[in-house]
Amino acid sequence: MNRIAVMTSGGDSPGMNAAIRAVVRTAIYHKMEVFGIRRGYQGMLEGDIFRMKTTDVSNIIQRGGTMLKTARSKEFMTEEGMQKAYGELQRHQIEGLVLIGGDGTFKGANAFFEKYPIPAIGLPGTIDKDLAGTDVTIGFDTAVNTAVEAIDKIRDTADAHNRMFIVEVMGRDAGYIALNSGIACGAEDILIPELKTDMQSIIRKIKSDQRRKKIVHLLVVAEGDDFGGGMDVKNLMSKELPDADIRVCVLGHIQRGGAPTFADRVLASRLGYAAVNALRAGKKQVMAGQINNEIVFTPFSEVVKQEAQIPEDLKEMTVILTT
């Protein structure tokens, strides 16, 4: 294999640049030509593909976002879009691909590579940490540390004013950021999609705290919680607790940006290096992940069908520590 390409797709996550850097430099070390595909699958079908040199990835390991840009592409999921993408890969004589992204990236890859035989290795780049086949994903550590820093500051002002604060963090389908940041910040309640939310029980607990003169109450909620997001929780609480001073803070996309942590830089570098070596060894249509500190490979079909599961002991611990 002499010519490979690398791309980032879907939502950006801190550490993507570190992964790109590792792919490019590992490929060049092995005398391979490496190309970048801008804007993910959309750029692939539009032929936005360019030759990369080792200097192209200098001074990017510490930067958030992705130098290759990213986009979501409905056109790619059509038969015509896939044909155009395959034609562009053939035109550039691409023999292997490294795909960096999350659940949507691997769903697209699973559909595409069932029809078009180009070897591909995926890297789990998503802040949500919701992929099977890996203990950690590129960007999660940075995102959860960003949330922890913000929540700590919110608790300071909540304590100063005797306020209740509802902090909404990212996690449309998975509650890993909410769960981990809530535990780390000592939140009184944590609402995640994986656990059934009992708002009446939470309100009873708050009323009990008020009788004990405990006014400050910090609640962390994942945006995809079954009850709703931060404003949905506030609207109900305002009716049930009319005398409470309740504020909502939605952290939003601040969790996606910023310099990646040490953990994300090393993870991304390790997986990028492993992806190139996997292509050289003949592996294809698998995601490279890290489980128990070892590199493992999981077929795209299994990554798409399964979701990362929160351990039962962690769920139980969360209930106990917020009681």
Q: Which of 48, 103, 128, 264 is catalytic?
A: 128
Q: List for the chain the helix, strand, coil content (%; round to 5).
A: 45, 20, 35
User: What does the block give as tokens for 57?
Assistant: 């990835």
Q: Strand runs (DSSP E) across the chain, as ranges?
A: 3-8, 33-37, 49-52, 96-101, 120-124, 164-169, 189-191, 217-222, 246-250, 286-291, 294-299
| CB proximity list for 84: less than 8 A, separation 6 or greater | 45, 46
Q: What angle do CA 70, 293, 144 make, to 5 degrees?
A: 50
E strand spans, 223-299: 246-250, 286-291, 294-299
Active site residue 56: no
3-state SS assignment for residue 273? helix
CA–CA separation, 25 vs 30, rounded Å?
Answer: 9
φ, ψ (nearest 5 deg) of residue 48: -85, 70
Residues tagged active-site: 128
